[in-house]
Amino acid sequence: MKRQTGSVQRRGSLGRKSSAASKNTRGGGRQGGSLVRFATTCLWLGGTTVFLVAVSWGLLAGYRYLTSHPYFTLREVSIEGNERLTDTAVLQLAGIAPGENSLAVDMGRAKNRLMQNPWVERVLLRRILPDKVQIHVQERKAVFWVRKQDGLYFADRRGEAIAPVSRDRFVSLPLLDLGTQHEHRETVALFADRLQQRRLPFSAAEVDWVRFDSEFVLEAQLRDSGPRVVLETHDLARHCQKLLAVWRDLNERDELDEASSLVFFRDKAWARF
């Protein structure tokens, strides 16, 4: 019985050694697999980096080639919509010149430069490959003069100042005096639109000045001893229609030249002589 016990003990010892050896083998296998995966990842990342660098370099080289190729030389720049600004001024403001590469023209920068000019309201630029650029400018229209501390300014239909009145671009316009009634810019715009659209019995060239005498009254003095027109600002469109009718009636009776003022207030009209 003792010999058998010893034999069992020796076999148990051999079993433990075999199990330990098996664990060591599995541990070494896992370490080897991790190294392989790490190496594979490094190779993939390296290959991807090389590919991206190659693509970027190719795109850059292609861009440089296209932006220097004579086929894309800018030969024609068409400018539309400008009235006050000359074609030369538009080109200088946009920073575009014939002879440069059409693909190299920065359209966004050119638009921003043009929009900085006070006369420019909107700009549309279009590139037509291989050799053309179109510039469409919508300018602000001067309808009035307005007086500021440093002098006279051109103003738009709402009475917003545009740019100082200059001798080289002198245009005689009605002098607008808003006084403290700056909230009436929409009323001014309505009156200005009717002047521009010839929907009043006189044109803007015949008006000396326009002002708000009070919160509810707009006055316009005509030139050459013409009558003063006084309009209630409430429902101005309707009062302008009445002005047309009264003006026509006085003209037919040869009394228009004798009238000193025409007043339209609260559905009534007066002619003063």
Q: Decide if 217 contacts 188 (C-beta within 8 A).
A: no
Over residues 107-164, the pLDDT tens digits come to 999 999 999 999 999 999 999 999 999 999 999 999 999 999 889 999 999 999 999 9
**Rounded to whole angstroms, how far apart are CA atoms 108 and 122?**
13
In this structure, whether the domain defined by 70-139 belongs to CATH 3.10.20.310 is answered with yes
**Rounded to whole angstroms, how far apart are CA atoms 60 and 270?**
77
CATH of 144-272, picked from 3.40.50.11690, 3.40.50.11540, 2.30.30.100, 3.30.70.3400, is 3.40.50.11690
- Which sequence spans correspond to the domains of the chain? 1-66, 70-139, 144-272
- Report pTM: 0.71
Please tell me if the domain spanning 70-139 has the same topology as the one spanning 144-272.
no
The strand order across the sheet containing 151-155 reads 161-164, 151-155, 144-148, 175-177, 207-212, 217-222, 228-232, 261-265, 268-272
Bridge-partner residues for 80, per DSSP? 136
pLDDT of residue 213: 75
pLDDT of residue 20: 46
**Rounded to whole angstroms, how far apart are CA atoms 148 and 153?**
7
